Amino acid sequence: MSKTTTICWFRQDLRLTHNPALEAASDAGKVLPLYIHDEVNCGEWGHGAASRWWLHQSLTQLDADMNGRLCIQRSDPLDILVALSEKLDIQRVYWNRCYEPWQIKRDKQIKQALESRGIAVTSCNGNLLWEPWENLKDDGSPYKVFTPFFKSAMARLDLPALTSRPDLKIEYVDAGDMNTGIDQLGLMPKIKWYEEMAQCWSPGTAGAQDLLQEFLQSGLQSYPEGRDFPDQQSVSRLSPHLHFGEISPLELAHRVRRHGEQNNLQDQAFHYIRELAWREFSHYVLYHFPDICERNMKSQFDDFPWLTDANGLERWQQGQTGYPLVDAGMRELWQTGYMHNRVRMIVASFLTKNLMLHWKHGARWFWDCLLDADLANNSASWQWVAGSGTDAAPYFRIFNPVTQSLKFDSAGAYIKRYVPELENLPEPHLHDPSSAPQEVLHEAGVKLGETYPRAMVNLKETRERALNAYKSIREG
């Protein structure tokens, strides 16, 4: 008897190991591995420019891991799945669940349409530690604050078991002329602006495993304190690999926990898993409050008097604010497609509080520039910093980029890497050139307004302005 032919629809799970949908599809029969670039249903949330570059590389690696058997298509997934099912007599379709609102809506429609045609559909959890509906308060409502969410998840659910399938044998099916090929997706930009960024990363499963191993050997031990210092190699930098599913969060959590137990680093491992759970919490919030990418979680912020300043926004985007740590972060983002997490909070605070520009402007810029651009993390994080979201920092918590720079980049190594025009400026003036004496600037070869911009705003004055604005909506 011939084996049933199944489709495993890859989405944000571009890996062969620890992939529940692929394992289930393989157990059920021969597998047609399929990736569909869906620009029909995503609306305004299609991949940004940096993410498109990564996706091209990741798909190339996944296809190579399958010896060229990955079927690539673009268009409406429902049309493609129906056409392939009819041509290849597909009986079953498998996928790992995605949690963005437009994906949930689309997947429900596809499941109904396929099942009405007699095609069985199975969805799995391959992207989260815990499903968003598994961890609720006693009254059945979702958590809005991270700490009780995390405590509840660890106490009631812990980390789900990680099963390994080294014996998994996948018999692939060739899609023939229905495979359009990766190049036809048009993901790569015509202008090669990505060349500097490409030197910093190795998209794909192998690159993810290499980064994880490097983090376990040289980053985990110093992670709890070192993760706040942008020039230290204490963070995993795995966020792009997680976003595209080149490594599962469950494998990552278990590997870190096991390494901690074996090397007396249990506290460090727990701290990392806790930070990994912040990613979970963002997806959890997006699932339960699907409009957070567009609407303030705290409705009083609907009346916040945001300013309009196109020039100020552009200077922020280009790393020309006159505050070195902010500028270093924005330039790191442009050059590498990544930004250290503490610096992300600082540049976001500067935009929303010192410039008083709407958090959506920042979220949109990050969406286009970040390799790890993720609708859940991006939206929730920007609202967290702005003060309008769940579990938000109090609005009066405003990150001062000068004091933050002095504390977390005291020697200026991070600043000098991305703002090299200041490399000869001594401390502490390196952190605030606009307050430096003229003779110090001259000796360092810095001309404010020429070689480096003057500070575009007064931190004290803009802090007071933001606090007064917050007070107005609170009292109103």
Ordered structural domains, the chain, with CATH: 5-125 (3.40.50.620), 128-162+205-288 (1.25.40.80), 299-475 (1.10.579.10)
Measuring CA to CA, which residue among 336, 229, 329, 228 is closest to residue 275? 228
The predicted structure's pLDDT at residue 396: 72
Q: What is the largest CA-CA distance in the chain?
A: 87
pLDDT number for residue 3: 79
Distance CA 334, CA 311 (A): 18
Q: Determine the distance from the C-alpha atom of residue 189 to the mean position of all C-alpha atoms in its chain, rounded to a whole number.
A: 21
Q: What is the pLDDT of residue 163?
A: 83
- Residue 476 has a pLDDT of 55
Q: What is the pTM (predicted TM-score) of this model?
A: 0.96
Can you list the residues of the chain whose pLDDT is less than 50? 1
- The β-bridge relationship of strands 120-124 and 30-37 is unpaired
The whole-angstrom separation of Cα 346 and Cα 323 is 11
User: What is the per-residue pLDDT for 278?
Assistant: 95
* Residue 3, H or E segment: none
Q: Specify the pLDDT at position 177.
A: 85
**Amino acid occupying residue 67:** N
DSSP string, 202-270: --SHHHHHHHHHHHHHHTGGGHHHHTT-TTSS-S---HHHHHTTSS-HHHHHHHHHHHHHHTT-HHHHH
Q: What does the alpha-carbon distance between residue 85 and residue 64 come to, in Å, rounded to a whole number?
A: 24
Q: State the Cα–Cα distance between residues 284 and 280, nearest whole angstrom.
A: 6
E strands, 11-87, in order: 30-37, 71-74
Contacts (Cβ under 8 Å, ≥6 apart) of 15: 62, 205, 208, 245, 246, 247, 248
DSSP state of 53: H
